Structure formats: C-alpha cells, structure tokens
Amino acid sequence: METMRNLKDSPQAASNAPILEMRGISKSFGAVKALSDVSFSVAPGEIHALVGENGAGKSTLMKVLSGVYPHGSYGGSIVYDGEERRFRDINDSEALGIIIIHQELALIPLMSIAENIFLGNAPARFGVIDRSAVHTRAKALLAKVGLSEAPDTLVTNIGVGKQQLVEIAKALSKEVRLLILDEPTASLNEQDSAALLALLKEFRTQGITSILISHKLNEIKDVADKITVLRDGRTVATLDCHAGEVEEDDIIRKMVDRDLESRYPKRTPDIGDVILKVTDWSAYHPQHSDRQMVKNVAFELRKGEIVGIAGLMGAGRTEFAMSLFGKSYGRNISGSVEINGKPVDVSTVDRAIAAGLAYVTEDRKHLGLLLAEDVRKNVSLANLPGVAERGLIDDMRELSVANDYRARMRIRSHNVYQETGKLSGGNQQKVVLSKWLFTDPHVLILDEPTRGIDVGAKYEIYSIINELAASGKGVVFISSEMPELIGMCDRIVVMHEGAFVGEVAGEQATQENIMRAIMRHKRRPE
C-alpha cells in the first residue's frame, strides 16, 4: 500500500510505464468519423482528465476502451498492463478492473443500495445469494465512499449525489483498477461535487487510476494530474498539471480552436416595464401534503431583463418554476400571476403556454425532448396548432418551421430529419429552446440550461439568451453554477428552503455575496 501511495505523492508517477495506451484509435459510424487516429496514454495512479466540446469523441473513446464498442469495430490498438487487449464486450474489460460509470446512472430506483451494488455480481453459497454477505460487504463499501445510509435503503430515497457514490461503491465491488467517470458532477450541487472529487483524490493515494470526463474546468484543474484535449475526434494536446499553471483559457482555446474574448457574451441591457408579476405563490409537496416547498414567493420580472435564481440543492428553485408553469409540480398551489399587467390563468400547462409562459426543463433528455423523434417533430411539439390546418398537421409547414429554427438557432444536424437523440448536448438544448420559442412566449424560465454542455456550446446558448432578452422577452435563469449567474444576469434573487431570502444587483454580484445571503438565512434559528 505504501508503494501505491508514493506513486501519486510524487509527480514522477507519469514517468512509470503507462497502465493504459490507446494507439491510433479510429471509429466511424457510417460516413461520420467520430475518432481519427487518437492516441491516449494514462500513467498508473493518476487522475487523467479528458476534455473537449460535445461531439469531440470523448465518450466514444471511452466506449472503445470499455468494450461497449468491441474489438473489430474500430481501428487501432489498446494496450493495458503492458499487453494488447481485444475486448469483446464490457464484461471483458470489467474482468481486468476497467469500470466505466456513465453520465446516466445505471441504478434501479426501487431496489436497495446493496442490491444495486451487487446486481449480477452477488456473493453466493451453493448457487444461492448470500444476503448476509451482501449486507456486510455493501456496508463496508459504503463506508469507503463516505455513505452512512443503511444497505437496505431504496435508491429512490437518496439524492443524486449519493446515487453517484453508490455507483462508485458498485465499481469498488468489482475490484476497480481503472475508473472511468463520464460527467460525474453534471447533476450535483457544489457540496456533493466537492465530496466526489475528494473521494477521487483518496482513491489516487490507494493506487486507483481515474479517467475523468467533465466540462467543469475548475474541477478538472483541482484534481487532474494531466489533461488531454480532443477536438473533432482527434488528440489536440496533453497538458501536465505538475509542469506549471494550466490556464482555463488555454484549455478552452485548444478545445474550440478559437479565442473566447469573454466566457460570457457582452450585452447592454434595455430593461422595460414589468412583464411578469407573481404574488404570494405557495406550493406543497405532491406526496407529503404537510411539506411546503414554495413559501409565499413574490417576484417581478421586466421586459428585456435576465434574472437569476440562486440557491443550494433543494432550495426550491425547480419546484417554484414547475409549479408556476401549469402547476406541473406540487399540490395545494396558491397565489396569483400577472403578465403584462393582466391576471392570467396558469392552472394547466396549456393555459400557461397560452398566457405566454415557457419552461425549459433541467432534464432535457427525459422531460424536454422525444429523443427517438427527429428535430422537425421536436420543434413543433409544444405548438402543434401552429403547424396544423383544420386539425391536421401540415407537413410542409412543419418542415418550414423546423428549417427556420435550425438556421436561426444554429442547430448542427445533417437536416431536420435527424434523430434528436443523435445530436450533441448543446444542439439538443437548442432544439428545446426552439420548441419553446415557437410558442412565442413573453417569459422564458430556463432551468439549468447549460447543464452537461461544453464551453463552446455554452457560449452559443448564452448568446441566444441575450438575443431573447434584447427582443423584449423576460428571462428567468436558474443555475447551480454561480459564475454563470454572475456572468449572465442583471440581478440575482437568492432562494433558500422554498423562500426568496435576498437579492443582489448584477454589478454587486459575487459568489461571496450570494453565499452570504444563503448562509445568513441558513443560520437563523427556527
């Protein structure tokens, strides 16, 4: 164990023979070349970050490594532990301790933590699962990842951050040596993200090698020993974080092949009259009728204004947005809404849309899009009357609308008949925005609009948001990334335990001021 600790404690770890070498990897899907002669080398016991824009080939490369794409379906070779490997499937790679944790967690909500950890891998005696051993080993693994939950707790009853740790415990149960994490903190708040990154550092002291795919460059700089940049399916550079300070701007430049003068596009606000007024808005938990999730919120938004909503995970930001949008969350909802000075009915989603509200959900894959359908159908989805004639869909009108939004929103797809699920995250988000813009809303509520999107695509989304505000629409911007709120918003309201507890003007917005507003309220006695 001491030898493994010394491996990472010195930056000289990289001088050891690599645990992994991927040589000249190429992979095509029909006429589309996803990877072109990619080389990637990882030293034992290091945390090696893999970054690039959506569609750069990061996940494809890791699927080649883990056997999701079997030997023979790609060009090049994989050398692991000094031997060339030809994985037929994921079972082959897992047998050697290569474990991949995908962005979409592979847990079964209505099974216990222990059952999920040992699913398909349970200790048994005489062909029968040894439940006592499952419980004991699960408890030990949970302790290793810092979870105090009982092994028989249902996965559905724990938060996303803890579910991510269960996935890692599952990897440890398979005696992981090389851990691949694809966007592990994309859905986590800052506290859960910090806990996960600290765990990776601890694994490093134990000799476990990690490959980390992430768009959060500040996190990468904090934990990575090396950073490899992919662009358009090719290796661009590998940066040694121990050789000197690695600048985020340099990483971005290599990722997008251009300078971003500012992470956030410049904008001169032109703020007008009040467009949205919410008074005394309250909502209760849909199952637990005694739990008030949104507490007497009063809120105003003006034309041309971008207002951010900040708060810790569980503060009630999404609950407020969804309850406002057609009462799509909660029960016993009360309060009043005015748009352009007139009372409006937002009691159903159809009525909220008719009143001029649009809500871009934080979960675009499950709630925002029909991934198996093409771009054309997704764009028209929220406003079918807009492409219908006498109750029937007019195919040519629908095609015209989709092509128009594809051009206006700069959606990168072969055409509007391309399956939406095959697009990158940034382009999927542009389709979601197109869908709601086609309803011609007065107010757009954007819930985590750049989650899981690379920095280049983020800039494009930010530019679109600025254009919407410039056209006179009001924008509510919910985000867990404080720099994003500070960079984009005219003012920021702070939410805590279902209530609005503070407000910071854009020019005074700092992470310290926002956190001070949250923590000041948090410390108050009940």
Q: Is the pLDDT of residue 163 over 50?
A: yes
Measured distance between the N- and C-terminal CA atoms of the chain, rounded to whole angstroms: 48
What is the distance between the alpha carbons of residues 41 and 58, in angstroms, rounded to a whole number?
Answer: 14
Is there a contact between 267 and 253 (Cβ–Cβ < 8 Å)?
no
Nearest CA to 497 out of 476, 471, 526, 477 is that of: 526
Q: Which residues pair with 327 in a beta bridge?
A: none
State pLDDT tens for residues 368-379: 899 999 999 999
Q: For residue 38, give the nearest of 75, 69, 70 by alpha carbon.
A: 75
Task: Give the number of other Cβ atoms within 10 Å of residue 505's Cβ.
Answer: 11
Confidence tier at 261 by pLDDT (50, 70, 90): low
Domain boundaries, given as residue ranges, for the chain: 2-97+177-256, 111-176, 271-356+441-526, 368-440
In this predicted structure, the answer to whether residue 7 has a pLDDT above a threshold of 50 is no
Residue % of the chain over a pLDDT of 70: 92
What one-character-per-residue DSSP string does 227-249 give?
Answer: EEEEETTEEEEEEETTSSPPPHH
Residue 165 has pLDDT above 70, yes or no: yes
Beta bridge partners of 154: 112
Which is higher by pLDDT, 325 or 54?
A: 325
- For residue 23, the model assigns a pLDDT of 95
**How far from 25 is each of 38, 72, 75, 77, CA to CA, in Å?**
5, 11, 5, 7
Run of H or E including 222: helix 217-223
SS3 content of the chain, % helix, strand, coil (to 5): 35, 25, 35
Q: Measure the CA–CA gap between 324 and 294, rounded to whole angstroms.
A: 10
| CATH code, 2-97+177-256 | 3.40.50.300
pLDDT tens, 54-65?
678 888 899 999
Is the domain covering 271-356+441-526 a CATH 3.40.50.300 domain?
A: yes
pTM of the predicted model, to two decimals? Answer: 0.64
Confidence (pLDDT) at 96 = 93
Domain 2-97+177-256 and domain 271-356+441-526 have a common topology: yes
Res 453 pLDDT > 50: yes
Q: Which of 435, 437, 441 is nearest to 276 (CA)?
A: 441
- Cβ neighbours of residue 425 closer than 8 Å, sequence gap 6 or more: 54, 364, 452, 453, 454, 457
